[in-house]
Structure 1
Amino acid sequence: MLDFDTAQDRLIQAAVRPTRSERIPVAQALGRIVATNVHATIAIPPADNSAMDGYAIRFADVEAGTRLPIQQRCYAGDVPEDLKPGHAIRLFTGSLMPAGADTVVIQENCSEDNEHVVFQTTPVLHAHVRIKGEDMSQDKTIILKGKALNSGHIAMLASQGITEIDVYPIPKIGILTTGDELAQPGQPLQVGQIYNSNAPMLSVLVQQLNAQVHMTRHAKDTLQDIQDALTALCAECDLVLTVGGVSVGDKDLVKPAIEGLGGEMNLWKVLMKPGKPVALAHIGDTPIVGLPGNPVSSYAVFTLMVSPMIRVLQGRRHAMPRVFYGKLESNKTFRDSREEFIRVQARADVDGFIYLTPHEQQGSAIISSLAWATGLARIPVNTDINNGDTVAYYDFKHWGF
């Protein structure tokens, strides 16, 4: 069995970064991965303007008690006159700064009298002036290649007048579940059957990462049925996830099915809990990850090992999300001969530390713990971990999106 870190790295290395891109409307680009560095085509703001409602002045002309004639009233979108010495121009938020003005005095510190303005305080030089390019200077790199676009990026692109952007294609993910004991949700259960929760669970996990579930198949526990499904999936998908059938039971046929199709097994079994029966293989150029059949184990392996693979396939700059650290809150001592990833709820205290409370039932059959947990805490192999000890914390919000 491989140790967890080595296995995780092998899966990441098995994913191939995209080489082609496509151009799409910015309005449809949320969550997409930028394929080139994006540069500012204009300065933002494009000209000096007022940050507040007030009066544009020459700083040297004004002190507390000064009274100046109002030369002009200039609204946002208007072009102001050049400011005459000893005058003020009434401005509003976003109004262009007049040539010759260097300061804005906010209206709260002024009073008007017969087309004159009286300044009640001495101004501060350059106060309330937005300088041309102070947000984005022309030609500045504003978005780096490999970034996942969020609403803030969309705002920046729109402010630049950019309507289309080059992004990487969305990876196509295939899902294959196996097992004669599985029934599809919505169908009546027969004796000895359970519902197939892995397929919808994995579909949502894939979609949360903004990848595409291109094809889903369920195969009976026969070599031929599994091979037929694998052949169809590998022909159309960038990554195939199989669920179940990768252990050593009589009906664990995924491994022989892959080998029978000429596939190469690159990894089989990982020193982790839950999730020991993990496989990595290739059929042609298509990577295949064999996940454990237990939904809790499958969820953990997807979060920790498959999500970084999908990030590589998407072209993201960084495959590995951030790992946090928190203090365990438990009366139980955790220790195992395998690297263990326990389901925990995290809370941030006023002291700034993260505290992690384990779920009472850590068995791999406890599906309800997945909805309860906020992430996974890592318990090092053959190490006693007690209340108050600091452990690595894999937050689902970072590792699942």
Structure 2
Amino acid sequence: MLDFDSAQAMLAARARVPEATETLPLDTLAGRVLAEDVIAGLDLPSDDNSAMDGYALRCADFAPDSILPIQAHHYAGHASEALRPGQAIRLFTGSLIPEGADTVVMQEDTERTDEGVRILRAPQAGDHVRRRGEDMHRGEVVLSRGTLVGPGQIAVLAAQGRATALAYPRLRIGILTNGDELVPPGQPLAPATLYNSNGPMLAALCKGMGADPVAVLHAPDQAEAIESALDGLARDCDLILSVGGASVGDKDLVKPAIEALGGTLDLWRVRMKPGKPVALAALGNRPLICLPGNPVSAFVVFALLATPLIRGLQGRRNVLAPVRSGVLRTDRTWASGRDDFLRVRVEHPPGELPALTPHRQQSSGSMGSLAWAHGLARIPAETRTGDGSVVDWYPLADWLA
């Protein structure tokens, strides 16, 4: 079996950055990936300005118990006159720093009198002054190509006066489930059947990553039906996810269908639990990931092995999400010949590593644990791990985004 890290690296390496790009307005950019470096055209702040409501003065003019006459009031967005020696100018957050001033005293440290303003606390030169360009310098890269756009990136673009930006198209993903035993949710169950949870689950996982599940198909256990479905998905999608049917059983018909379409299949078993049966294939230039048919296994493999490939196909610069450390809290010992990924709840005691509590049911049939878990704790192969052990864990909030 292939070790987990090698399998993850192999899938990530199959990603190719999209060649197509599109120019999008700010209100449609969230969730997209930048296809350009964004260069600052402006210094931000554009001029020295006040970080507080207060008074601008020369620090050298301060003396205990002295009162400085108030020369003027300057509001944000208005021009500023030069400060005269021995006086103060009333400012507000965002007001320009007057010529001649080097300090802002916040109003909480002052007292107004009929003669002016008394400074109650000795200032330091430069207090509460935002310097021109201290946030962004004109000509520097403020957002890099391959950045996933969120509210913070939108703020940067808008602050630079950008109404549009170049982005990669949304990744189009096709999903194929197969099996005579599967019934669509909402339909009555016949004997020996069960509801198809993989299709809706994988569609939701794709949407959560900013990809479009443009087709969610189901095929019976018939070679022609599977071949036809895969052929259609390969024509319309950038990536295909198939679920089950890629092993060596009598009803495992995905591999023959791929070969009949002229595709290539790199089939391996990964030394991980759950999720051992995984395959990476290609139909033309379209990558195809064959996920295990068990929904829990499909979920874990999607989270840990499929998402790096998806991020790369989206054009993202960072394809691997963070792996963190935590302390296992359990009343049993864990040991396996494969890397075991436990579904865990996570608590964050102050000043300590996160505490990882495994779900009571770790079988690959426990779908309730998927809705319960915050992450996946990795128990290395060929080790015995118990309460108090420090292990790696994969936050689902990061790995599924």
TM-score range (shorter-chain normalised) is over 0.9
Q: What are the Cα deviations for residues 328-358 of structure 1, in whole angstroms up to 9, with x where unaligned?
A: 2222221222222121112222242122111
Preserved contact between residue 175 and residue 215 of structure 1 (Cα < 8 Å):
yes
What is the TM-score with the length of structure 2 in the denominator? Answer: 0.96
Report the identity percentage: 49
Aligned counterparts of 1:111 and 1:272: Cα–Cα separation in 2: 68
Residue matched to 1:91: 91
Structure 1 residues 197-206 or 72-81, which shifts more? 72-81
Residues 42-57 of structure 1 aligned to structure 2 (within 5 Å):
42-57=42-57
Stretches of structure 2 that go unaligned for 5 or more consecutive residues are: none
Residue matched to 2:131: 131
Residue matched to 1:182: 182
Residue matched to 2:208: 208
Quick check: 1:148 aligned with 2:148?
A: yes
Q: What are the Cα deviations for residues 192-233 of structure 1, in whole angstroms up to 9, with x where unaligned?
A: 111110001000111111111111111111000000000000
CA spacing shift, 1:70–1:304, aligned 2, 3 Å: same
Residue matched to 1:159: 159
Preserved contact between residue 7 and residue 267 of structure 1 (Cα < 8 Å):
no
Alpha-carbon deviation of 1:262?
1.3
Preserved contact between residue 65 and residue 119 of structure 2 (Cα < 8 Å):
yes
Preserved contact between residue 63 and residue 123 of structure 1 (Cα < 8 Å):
no
Alpha-carbon deviation of 1:381?
1.8
Quick check: 1:359 aligned with 2:359?
A: yes
Preserved contact between residue 63 and residue 121 of structure 1 (Cα < 8 Å):
no
CA spacing shift, 1:188–1:91, aligned 2, 3 Å: same
Aligned counterparts of 1:83 and 1:146: Cα–Cα separation in 2: 46
User: How many residues are treated as equivalent by the alignment?
Assistant: 401
Alpha-carbon deviation of 1:282?
0.8
SS across alignment from 2:392: strand
Residue matched to 1:311: 311
Alpha-carbon deviation of 1:115?
5.6
Preserved contact between residue 109 and residue 120 of structure 2 (Cα < 8 Å):
yes
Quick check: 1:275 aligned with 2:275?
A: yes
Aligned counterparts of 1:200 and 1:99: Cα–Cα separation in 2: 63
Aligned counterparts of 2:126 and 2:14: Cα–Cα separation in 1: 56
Residue matched to 2:101: 101
Q: What are the Cα deviations for residues 269-293 of structure 1, in whole angstroms up to 9, with x where unaligned?
A: 2222211221111111111111111
SS across alignment from 1:2: coil
Alpha-carbon deviation of 1:47?
0.8
Q: What is the aligned-residue RMSD (CA, Å)?
A: 1.5
SS across alignment from 1:289: strand
Residues 199-238 of structure 1 aligned to structure 2 (within 5 Å):
199-238=199-238
Preserved contact between residue 326 and residue 356 of structure 2 (Cα < 8 Å):
yes
Aligned counterparts of 1:389 and 1:70: Cα–Cα separation in 2: 65
Stretches of structure 1 that go unaligned for 5 or more consecutive residues are: none
What is the TM-score with the length of structure 1 in the denominator? Answer: 0.96
